[in-house]
Amino acid sequence: MKQRTIAKAIKSIGIGLHKGNPVEILLEPLEADMGIQFYRTDLGITIEATPNNVVDTKMATVIGKNGATISTIEHLLAVVYSYGIDNLRISLNSSEVPIMDGSGASFCMMLDEAGIMKLSANKKIMIIKKNISYKDGKKWTKISPSAHAEYDFTIDFNHPVIQKQKYNFIFSKKDFIKDISKARTFGFLKDVQALRSMGLALGGSLDNAIVLDDKKMLNSDPLRYQNEFVRHKILDAIGDLSLMGMPIIGKYESFAGSHSLNHILTLEILKDKENYEVKYFDKEYYNAYSKVFA
């Protein structure tokens, strides 16, 4: 299976979640083996989408280089990964990827319009060989060998709308679009008010997030999935792990995980080359995984 990029450039505009300013985004094709690159047009700085460039994970995944940062990259990266795109330039005139509707749906539409182009080089895949885990109190995340790219997430909130939710997702592009991409980010009104007092979440609204008070959901439109909250956590995890730069064949599991735990897991994987094996997507794996990105 060959590496991919997009067939033509595509641009859009949206609101930055924290600054609340309009953000122009331009997606452009790149040649083979160039990876996913973010470019700050206002600063003239390129930041590669790699674990080593992650500089913050408190409220979103943030990458940085030479003093420049780009935040809230996870939703876009989840979509780029799920479309099997290995090489892409993402240009922004601000420090945030636009939040769009709080899910990956708008980015799916952008890539559908841009189209996919196959390149000459073979795609690489990372095969997990050992159990790797990280725990922070009651929260934990792990990855283990599997015949699939699999995501199993559990959340447990003391809130009547969310409560305990668990979802298992066997990855494929088709199922990602149908079952994961439309799941929106969520937050609590009290937290939003606290963030705004610090000059953050200025672009957040009921149009780009599910917002809850102590008892109910404040949005007038219904949930897109009955368990939309945990599905969004899987969207985040796919985006965070995509920083590895290639499809991962393994089972990801998490309880009450976060961007921080996902980032630590990527570093734990890379600590020891015995944890994984990188292979080209040749005939040995083509039959088993070619339909995943169809």
Task: Give tens-digit pLDDT for 247-271.
Answer: 999 999 999 999 999 999 999 999 9
The catalytic residue among 18, 75, 232, 259 is 259
Q: Per mean pLDDT, which range of 45-59, 191-205, 233-247 is the poorest?
A: 191-205
Whether 6 and 85 share a structural domain: yes
Whether 129 and 114 share a structural domain: no
Whether 93 and 143 share a structural domain: no
Whether 133 and 19 share a structural domain: no
Whether 93 and 187 share a structural domain: no
Out of 122, 145, 169, a domain closes at: 122
CATH of the domain at 173: 3.30.1700.10
Out of 106, 122, 138, a domain closes at: 122
Q: Specify the pTM.
A: 0.96
The domain tally of the chain equals 2
Whether 57 and 68 share a structural domain: yes
What is the per-residue pLDDT for 104?
98
**In sequence order, what are the residues at sequence separation of 6 or more whose Cβ sits closer than 8 angstroms to the Cβ of residue 208?**
15, 17, 99, 100, 101, 102, 184, 185
CATH of the domain at 111: 3.30.230.20
Cβ atoms of 81 and 35 closer than 8 Å: no
- For 92-137, the pLDDT digits (tens) are 999 999 999 999 999 999 999 999 999 999 999 999 999 999 999 9
Cβ atoms of 153 and 253 closer than 8 Å: yes
* CA distances for 251 relative to 144, 163, 208, angstroms: 5, 24, 30
What's the length of the chain? 294
By residue range, what is the domain housing residue 189?
Answer: 125-293
Radius of gyration in angstroms for the set of CA atoms belonging to the chain, rounded to a whole number: 18
Whether 25 and 64 share a structural domain: yes
Out of 72, 90, 122, a domain closes at: 122
Whether 92 and 214 share a structural domain: no
pLDDT at 293 over 90: no
259 is catalytic: yes
